[in-house]
Structure 1
């Protein structure tokens, strides 16, 4: 194969991180390109797919400056991307409207009506729930975040677009098609449409489940594992990206699987935490797991269809950015000098965009408790950091009951917010667990690159390559006993306040 380098592109909500990675999983060069997110009243959160491609071309232009012989040395291009989006594309793969991203919650009421009925449990009609649980190991979210609700919204509000739609796809699917002309989808995206049979050995689209949504299987792309070579670049894509047309493009994966690989935690039962715009607790397991009351489950990952537990929370870095903004700063170091925690600091529930785990309710909203006249901007920012950490502690209290979970040793922390020492230390204190920060800001990009390991001859599998990243520690945080006890006491108090808040939205 021509070339010794892999180009890895990790498409997030606000931008794409692109890295040039070598056989030792070192990032030779990297670039970031931002793109807009259209937020509007009513839960709208959309992006234009062409903006993703534009971000990729800009980043590669930067990388070709850093690595002048990149065109000759790049052998593989692989993507990871945000999931739970919906793109309606025509037969040429052209998006017929903006992508409804994972953050788009306008279809929450439609989702609740669709899953509801009599008799019901936890808001789900029993017969429907039993069907979803049997085949898909889960059920559509109540908050409208997954593709199920978005398809319902399109069927009701934009039927003319649905009539013209040839493909119902996710973000990465569109990108792979834009690069190769071949339409595929990842197991994670497919699973979270709740139209996929995820039973071991039977993974594939289910006519039975698709019929519940009145969706034809012909509109659903072939489910393809992450390290599969899809095709080489089309001449047009190669010209736009400044790469050789012989570059191979892999099927790629979701941001959650990329993060799991990038964390190095690839053994069954080993958890990691991602802290970025949103947050999740995740880890591979040998079999499917499900917790309906706490709204989390395993999904079928693109890594050999291995079950990957994902307990996601809607608000993390977004809540901290909001707290900084409303207290008068957009400085990226706003959390670095906010003073020591005080016993009478306010409490904060960071549900600014609803919540998913361990309660699935898009109507929940954030709030401060116990505000006093003497509280200043620093107190609010401290409360925000603590609130995000204690929200994760709340989710972890449910996940930690899973059988086969590894409870010893440090938990690996990845994601943009993991690089902030204040946030990482607060999380260590809240969980009373050592925190190991890995390749914080580049875990997704490096995890994505491991998918090319077997194609490039770097390792026998992506998992073997990813395990090497476990040894890369950029920082280590040990719980402070005094803060552990103080946060436990505050967690008890916040738990009571949380119950009152939850009742007001029930």
Structure 2
């Protein structure tokens, strides 16, 4: 028996082979990744972890073929006996490939329950103060900059279940099936700036660019004139302010501006949110076609490279976009002003949150 991550466990069930990829093993904290061409287990780390080295799986590239699918599994899944099992990559790395941003310093922006802004980088580096680091990616011999914000699209279920359609003695109504479409319409009916409301999306603390588990969300500048529509838009804008905060440190990490950004994930399906991201972050946002399928598409592309059907360099030419969102200069002033106050709210309230939630 060996320790395996979720992706590698599935590969074991499919192929009968124990293995981990260079890009799935770092979160075990037992591997030395300082030389991208020589990722290996580190005996000093293993000693500190007090684990049995024999329980750690062999390391492979994401594009290595583990073997044929097990006959009994092929029968259960209705697949041919000659189907190959490829080592593959975890979700972050697969999304990177599925975004089409596979060249050095080309950025992709993922908006799902959480969010991240990442890119392939040709160097090993760590920013311990803002939780950004270079880790192995699906492309052999390449790192990518890793960071992640705790909640992005995850604010929408909170908005729906706790503000718009809460279930309690006063109200017990299920949200309509098209609730996300209605949220988008409400947000689009409000001018940029949401009536100068600011929502901080730290509902579960934050990871990047500050690692602070005591932070909490809030809606600031409420008045008797505040409308629900403004609160809805403030939720979308608050995630965008948080993303801009992250973007600044990622660009400092890589030493250059990332423009455009390829956006993927379920949140990218919203035209309104994509326009807000473009305006707040002052970057061109290119929505990859079928953005919610980026991880699955990336996994398929990694397998295609493994089987010799294409090269990683071919992927940008295969990437299709379903929308290009340019920053609107007319919204620059209000969003810059509110973003500065978003940061001021963090500085002013972090000590309060620490006292309340420590």
Specify which of 411, 425, 428 is matched with residue 261 of structure 2. 411
CA offset digits 1:426-474 (Å, max 9, x no partner): 0000111111111312222222111123444422x2x12322234x111
Q: 1:476, 1:335 → 2: CA distance?
A: 21
Match of 1:474 among 312, 317, 322: 322
**CA offset at residue 340 of structure 1?**
1.4
1:343 Cα deviation (Å)?
5.6
Of residues 166, 179, 183, the one that matches 1:335 is 183
Give me the whole-angstrom Cα distance separating, in 2, the residues matched to 1:186 and 1:303: 11
Asked whether the equivalents of residues 124 and 134 of structure 2 are also in contact (C-alpha less than 8 Å), the reply is yes
Residue 192 of structure 1: SS of its match in structure 2?
A: helix
Structure 1 pair 478/302, CA: closer, same or farther in 2 (3 Å)? closer
**Cα 1:220–1:377 shift into 2, 3 Å:** farther
8 Å CA contact 1:258–1:445 kept in 2: the answer is: yes
Query: Which position in structure 2 is the counterpart of 1:67?
Result: none
Structure 1 SS opposite 2:116:
strand
Deviations 1:73-102 (A, max 9, x none): xxxxxxxxxxxxxxxxxx3xxxxxxxxxxx
Query: Does the C-alpha gap of structure 1 residues 382 and 428 become closer, same or farther in structure 2, counting only changes over 3 Å?
Result: same
Contact 2:121-2:254 at 8 Å conserved across structures:
no
1:177 to 12, 16, 24: 12
Higher helix share: 2
2:144 is the counterpart of 1:296: no
Q: Contact 2:280–2:332 at 8 Å: present in 1 too?
A: yes
| Structure 1 position 345, deviation (Å) | 3.9
Q: Which residue of 1 aligns with 2:84?
A: 248
Out of 201, 214, 237, the position equivalent to 2:73 is 237
Q: Distance in 1 between matches of 2:125 and 2:333?
A: 32
- Normalising by structure 1, what TM-score? 0.64
Looking at structure 1, the residues matched to 194 and 287 of structure 2 have their Cα atoms a distance apart, in angstroms, of 28
Greater shift after overlay, 279-288 or 256-265? 256-265
Does residue 195 in structure 1 map to residue 30 in structure 2? yes
What is the match of residue 501 of structure 1?
349
Match of 1:386 among 237, 262, 268: 237
Q: How does 1:77-476 map to 2 (within 5 A)?
A: 91=1, 167-200=2-35, 201-326=37-162, 327-328=164-165, 329=175, 331-338=179-186, 339-341=189-191, 344-407=195-258, 409-439=259-289, 440-459=291-310, 461=311, 463-470=312-319, 472-476=320-324
The SS at the match of 1:313 is coil
Name the structure with the higher strand share: 1
Alpha-carbon distance in 2 for matches of 1:291, 1:168: 28
Displaced runs of 4+ in structure 1, greater than 6 A?
none
Give 1:305 shift.
4.1
**What is the rounded CA distance, in whole Å, between the counterparts of 1:477 and 1:436 in structure 2?**
6
- Unpaired segments ≥5 residues, structure 2: 166-174
Alpha carbons of 1:310 and 1:325: their partners in 2 closer, same or farther (altered >3 Å)? same
- Deviation larger for 385-394 or 302-311: 302-311
Contact 1:224/1:251 (<8 A) preserved: yes
> C-alpha distance in 2, partners of 1:365/1:425?
26
Question: What per-residue deviation string (whole Å, max 9, x for no partner) do you get for residues 213-232 of structure 1?
Answer: 21221222122211110111
Contact 2:89 2:138 in 1 (8 A): yes
Alignment of 1:11-90 (within 5 A): none
Structure possessing the higher relative contact order (Cα contacts under 8 Å, 6 or more residues apart): 2
**Cα shift at 1:370:** 1.7
How many corresponding residue pairs?
337
- Asked whether the 8 Å contact 2:107–2:260 carries over to 1, the reply is no
1:376–1:219: structure 2 CA closer, same or farther, 3 Å change rule?
Answer: farther
| Residue 11 of structure 1: aligned partner | none
Distance 1:252 1:454 in 2: 10
1: CA distance between counterparts of 2:218 and 2:211? 17
Return the TM-score normalized by structure 2. 0.89
Q: Which residue of 1 aligns with 2:170?
A: none
